[in-house]
Chains A and B, each alone.
Chain A
Amino acid sequence: MTALTRHRLFWPAAVLVVLLVSNLFFAPRFFSITVQDGHLYGSLIDVLRSSAPLVLVALGMTVVIATGGIDLSVGSVMAIAGAVACLMIGDLPDQGSVGGVLLAVGAAIALAVVLGLWNGVLVSVIGIQPIIATLILMVAGRGIAQLLTSGQIINVSSPPFRVIGAGYFLALPVSVLIAAAVVAIAVLLTRRSALGVLVEAVGASPTASRLAGIRARGLTIMAYVFAAVCAAVAGLIFSSNVASADSNAAGNLIELDAILAVVIGGTALTGGRFSLAGSVLGAVLISALDITTYTIGIPAETTLLFKAVVVVVLCLSQSAAFRAVVFRRRTAGAPA
C-alpha cells in the first residue's frame, strides 16, 4: 500500500477518481457508455474528447519545461494554426476536397514548425530567457491570427475538416485518437531514442551537460518546435470542432492549464526529469474538473473559484510535508 501511495502519480490519479465518482451523485448515468450509430457516447468519452487539445499542449509543454524553459506562446500558436487552416479551406472551390483540407492542415503545421524555430532560436541561440522569449509570440501570435482573419470569426463547412475535431473512427472520437497517437509517438521518441535523457540532462544542469559534450542548442530548439507542433494540432482540433477559426477564443489561457497539467504530472518547473504520462494524467484531470463543474451545477460565476480550490487541494496532496502534518506521522526523509 505504501509503495502505491508513494508513487508520484498516485495522488493526481486519486483526485481524478474522486472527481469522476463525485459526478455520480449528480448524474447517476455518468459512467454509462452507450453505442449510437456505431459511436461510443457517454460522459467519460466527453471527458477524453474535451481533454484532447490540452493533452497535446501539455505534452509539448512538458518537453520544453524539461529543458528548463517554458512556452507561453502555445495558445497563440493554436489560434494561428486554426486561422491558417480555416482561411485556406474557406478559399477552396470545394470545401469537401480531402486533398485541399490535407494541404491546409499541412500548411498550419509547417507554419507551427517555423514558429517553434523562432521560439527555440530566441531561447537557445540568442539567449533570451524563455518566459520573455515566448511572451513575444504569445502577444504577437494572437495579433497575427487576428490579422489573418481580419478580426472576424471565419466559418467553414468542410466535412473532411470536421472529422479532425468531431469525427469518429473505430467507434472512438478522432481527436482522442490523434492525441493518443501523438502521445505514443512522443513517448517512443523520448524513451526509445536518447532524446529523453539528454533533454533531462540539459534541463537539470546546463553546465555539466555542455562539459559532457551534449549539444543543448539543437535539443532546446527541437523541444520548442515539438511544443509548437503539438499546439498547432490542438488548434486544428479546436477549430475543427467548432467549424470555425476564432482567433480570440482559440487556446485562450491554455498555456496556464498546460503548465498546471505538467506540474500535476510531477515534472518540476526547474527542468530535468519529466513524465509524459504524468502530464497526460494532469491534462485529463483538468478537463474532468471542468466537466464536473458543469455536471454538479456549480454556478458559472463560481466555476473558477471551485477549480482553484480543487487545484489547491491537489497540490497540497502532492506535498509530502503537508501529508505528514495531516496524517500526523513522521515521514522519514529521503537522502537529499
Chain B
Amino acid sequence: MTERTVLEMTGIRKTFPGVVALDGVDFRLFPGEVHALMGENGAGKSTLIKVLTGVYGIDSGEIRLAGEPVRFAGPLQAQQAGVSTVYQEVNLCANLSVAENIFIGREPRRLGSIRWGEMRKRAAKLLAGLDLDLDVAAPLSSYSLAIQQMVAIARAIDISAKVLILDEPTSSLDASEVRRLFDVMRRLKDDGVAILFVSHFLDQVYEVADRMTVLRNGRLIGEHRTAELPQMQLVTKMIGKELTVLDRLDDEARTAAAPGEPVVTAKGLGRAGAIQPFDLTIRAGEIVGLAGLLGSGRTEVARLLYGADRADTGHLEVGGEPVTFRAPRTAMRHGIAFSSENRRTEGIIGELTVRENIVLALQAARGWSRPVPRRRQDELVAKYVKALDIRPADPETPVRNLSGGNQQKVLLARWLITEPRLLIVDEPTRGIDVGAKAEIQKLLVGLAGDGMAVLFVSAELEEVLRLSHKIEVLRDRRLVEEIENTGGVDADRIMQTIASGANG
C-alpha cells in the first residue's frame, strides 16, 4: 500500500488490573475504505476503539492521525480531531428532541442563545441526506431503536468527516434498515471517509467491508482484504480453532424433538396496543422459536408470558392450572424465567458483581430474610462460570466490566440456577460473537434435551430455524402462523409468511 493512512496505531498496549486487554496491536485505516474489526467477545475490539477515541489512555504504543502522533484525552477531543463513534448501545438522550440530540454541545448560536429554527433546519437537511424524513422536533424516544441509531450516525457524520467508528450498528436493525445503513456507509466511503465497522454478522461484514483486522485475546492475528479471506478461515482465525459446533447442532436439534406435556398454554392472550390475542402451547423439552420482523410483536409475546406486562385479554395455564401474572414474581414462582433483549437496562445490574448478578433471581425468589448461604453461592457461581465459560472467571468482578457475550452468559446463569420449567430468551445472541453464540445455542438445545421448555426469540431467521422445533411467525403484532420445523422448512418459507401474512 502506497496510499497514506488516515489513521495508524502501532504497538498499542493496554492493561487493566489483572487483564492485558491489548498487547502490541497494530491497526491502520485508509481514507475511503470500510474496515471491519473482527474478533470474539473479549478479544479487545471495544478496548481498541475506546483507546482510539481517548476513553482510555494507553500504556504504550503510538497513534497517528494523518501522520501526526496524537493522544486524545477524551472522546470530545477525538471528535474535534475528526474521529467520531457510534456505539453499540445508542448513547443519546431519549428525552431530548431529534434535532437537539444531533446538535447537543454544538448548537448553532447567536449572541449566546440557541437558534432553534436554524438547528431544526440543519437537522432535517442532514437526515434527508440519509433518506430519513423525521419530525426533528419530536423527542428521540418516539422513534424506534433503529431510527435512533440512524440519528446517532447522522450526528457522528456531521461532527467529523475523517474517521467514523460504527460499533455494532446493525445489531438492532432489521434487514431493510441494514440495507439503508449500508447505502449510507457506501456514500460516505465514496466521500473519502474511513469507516471502522464492528459487527458480529459475518454476512454483513463480507457485504460491506473492504478489509478487516482480526484480533484474538488482545493480540493482532492479521490484516486481510475481505475478498481474499473466506468466511470459514476468518472464523478459524477469530476463535483459534476449527468451528464444528454449529454443524453438529443441526442434527442434535432435530433428533431431540420429543416434546412432552404442555408447560405453558396461552389462550387468546393479548394486550391492547402490544399484541393481538394469540394461542400458544409450549411443551416440555421443546424449543419454540418466535420469528418476525423488528416490531412485529416478538418481545411483546415473551413479556406477556412472563408477566412483565399484564395481559388484558385471554388466559394462561401453567402445567394445566390457570394462572394470572400480575408481576414477574408470580411467573417466577411458576417456574418461568425471562432474559430480556435489553441486556444492559433490563438484565444485568452493572455495578454488582458477577456472583451477585447470578444469584439475584434465586435470592429474589427466596426473599431477603433467607439469604443464599455464601458457600452455596460460590458453588453455584463457580459451576456456571465454568459451564458457560464466563470470562474473566473472577466472580467478584463488577459485571459492567464484562463483554456483551459474557454479560449474556451471566444472565442465562442467573435464570438457570432457578431451575425454570420454561426459559424465555429474547435475543440471547444479539451482539455477541460467533463462538459465544454457538455456545449459547448449544446450551439451549441441551436444556431442551433435559426437558426444559424454551421460548427462543431472535431476529435471525437462520438461528430460529436451526434451533426450534416449532416456529411461531409474527407479523404486525399478530401471530399469523405456526410452523412445525420439519425437514422442508427454510428461511424462504418463513419470509413468505412474514411477507404475505398468510394465516395458515
Contact = CB atoms under 8 A, between A and B. Distances in A.
A207 B345 contact: yes
B4 to A, nearest CB: 30
A200 interface: yes
A239 B466 CA distance: 72
B369 to A, nearest CB: 6
A208 B340 CA distance: 9
B327 A208 contact: no
Nearest to B329: A213
14 contacts: A192-B371, A194-B363, A195-B368, A204-B350, A205-B346, A207-B345, A207-B346, A211-B347, A212-B361, A215-B329, A219-B368, A273-B352, A333-B56, A334-B16
Contact residue range for chain B?
A: 35 or more
Interface string A3-23: 000000000000000000000
A194 B351 contact: no
A272 B338 contact: no
B351 A211 contact: no
Contacts of B56: 332-333, 335
B360 A212 contact: yes
Contacts of A193: 368-369, 371
A261 to B, nearest CB: 21
Most buried by B among A197, A332, A334: A197
Contact of A198 (B17, B346, B368): B368
Most buried by B among A193, A272, A335: A335
A212 B415 CA distance: 9
Top 3 nearest A-B pairs by Cβ distance?
A213-B364, A194-B371, A214-B364
A214 B347 CA distance: 13
Interface residues of A, number: 28
Contacts of A95: none
A155 interface: no
A204 B349 contact: yes
Contact of A201 (B59, B328, B349, B369): B349
A336 interface: yes
Contacts of B486: none
A330 interface: yes
Contact of B414 (A209, A212, A334): A212
B55 A333 contact: yes
A213 B369 contact: no
B348 interface: yes
Interface of B: 16-17, 55-57, 59, 306, 308, 327-329, 332, 338, 340, 345-352, 356, 360-361, 363-372, 400-401, 414
A323 interface: no
Contact of B363 (A197, A273, A334): A197
A39 interface: no
Contacts of B57: 330, 332-333
Nearest to B370: A194
A200 B368 CA distance: 12
A198 B348 contact: no
Interface of A: 192-195, 197-198, 200-201, 204-205, 207-215, 219, 272-273, 330, 332-336
A208 B345 contact: yes
A210 B327 contact: yes
B437 to A, nearest CB: 23
Contacts of B401: 335
B349 A205 contact: yes
Nearest to B56: A333
Nearest to A268: B351
A197 B356 contact: yes
Given A211-B308, A332-B57, A336-B55, A198 B351 contact: no
B400 A209 contact: no
A222 to B, nearest CB: 8
A335 B347 CA distance: 19
B102 to A, nearest CB: 24
Most buried by A among B55, B57, B360, B368: B368
B55 A205 contact: no
Contact of A335 (B16, B345, B371): B16
Contacts of B340: 208, 211
Nearest to A192: B371
Contacts of A330: 57
A214 B414 CA distance: 13
A334 B19 CA distance: 11
Contact of A211 (B59, B338, B365): B338
Contacts of A200: 349, 351-352, 356
Nearest to A196: B368
A23 B177 CA distance: 68
Given A213-B361, A215-B329, A208 B368 contact: no
B127 to A, nearest CB: 30
B330 to A, nearest CB: 9
B328 A211 contact: yes
A205 B398 CA distance: 14
A194 B346 contact: no
Contact of A194 (B306, B345, B349, B368): B368
A236 B162 CA distance: 67
B16 A214 contact: no
B351 A204 contact: yes
Contacts of B327: 210
Contacts of B55: 333, 336
A211 B57 CA distance: 36
Contact of A336 (B332, B371, B400): B400
A213 B363 CA distance: 9
Contacts of A214: 360, 364
Given A194-B368, A273-B352, 18 more contacts: A194-B370, A194-B372, A197-B352, A198-B364, A198-B368, A200-B349, A200-B356, A205-B350, A208-B346, A208-B348, A209-B364, A210-B327, A211-B306, A212-B361, A212-B414, A272-B351, A334-B17, A335-B400
Given A201-B349, A204-B352, A336-B55, A213 B365 contact: yes
Most buried by A among B56, B338, B350, B360: B360
Contacts of A197: 352, 356, 360, 363
Contacts of B16: 334-335
Contacts of B345: 205, 207-208
A194 B366 contact: yes
B116 to A, nearest CB: 29
Nearest to A333: B56
B347 A208 contact: yes
B294 to A, nearest CB: 21
A214 B328 CA distance: 9
